[in-house]
């Protein structure tokens, strides 16, 4: 039987792949019952953009809203997963062929989802071009998700897609694991930690099945 919910969140651990310039994940047991302590307690150290995470507009815009200010109706609601097959980038032509229509929340499944099984960071991940970001921003979408650690090309020093989307108030989810998810319509639940005045946060992201699916997109 197919599950009603899909947890598309990466597990945070000491072996989690991170962006090369970001600090590695560190999870240290400060108290352990097995060591004679009265309780178990851990110290967690990682980037605000660790694993499956949400980018707030403030990440690239000094005047943008912070992660604790993101409206819940941007993070919860109907979403469509589109499968972009055999591509090195997502461009305007791809978006036109997908017929995204009036979708509020769009999630791109690509070959990136297979990269989470690799032991090291992959630089040649599928990204969103500047032109495609403009196309999305013009349609007043609430949220865009992708299945690797950036919507921008690895060596794009200008981070065009980030700037274009976040400037329009479009929330970005990065680091999704869509390997077990088929294209189609879902309900998205994406909840970051409520960190005051912060640029982003790791999040638990779940898709709930809707009745209609978009197979063979």
| Catalytic center residues | 59
What Å distances lie between residue 192 and 67, 82, 204, CA to CA? 8, 23, 7
Torsion sign across C-alpha atoms 5, 8, 9, 11 = positive
- The Cβ-side half-sphere exposure at 200, using a 13 Å CA radius, reads 25
CB 151 within 8 A of CB 110: no
Q: Which of 66, 61, 71 is nearest to 48 (CA)?
A: 66
């Amino acid at each position: 039987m197919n599950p009603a919910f899909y947890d598309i969140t990466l597990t945070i651990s000491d072996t989690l792949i991170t962006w090369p310039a970001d600090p590695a994940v560190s999870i240290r047991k400060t108290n352990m019952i097995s060591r004679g302590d009265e309780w178990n307690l851990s110290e967690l150290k990682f980037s605000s953009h660790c694993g499956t995470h949400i980018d707030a507009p403030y990440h690239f815009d000094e005047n943008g809203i912070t992660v604790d200010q993101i409206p819940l109706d941007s993070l919860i609601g109907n979403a469509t997963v589109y499968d972009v097959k055999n591509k090195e980038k997502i461009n305007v032509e791809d978006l036109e062929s997908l017929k995204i229509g009036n979708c509020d929340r769009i999630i791109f499944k690509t070959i990136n989802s297979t990269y989470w099984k690799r032991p090291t960071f992959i630089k040649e991940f599928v990204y969103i071009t500047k032109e495609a970001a403009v196309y999305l921003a013009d349609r007043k979408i609430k949220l865009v998700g992708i299945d690797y650690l950036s919507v921008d090309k690895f060596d794009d020093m200008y981070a065009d897609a980030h700037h274009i989307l976040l400037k329009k108030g479009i929330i970005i989810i990065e680091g999704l694991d869509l390997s077990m998810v088929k294209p189609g319509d879902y309900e998205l639940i994406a909840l970051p930690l409520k960190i005051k005045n912060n640029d982003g946060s790791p999040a638990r992201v779940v898709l709930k099945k809707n009745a209609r699916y978009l197979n063979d997109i």
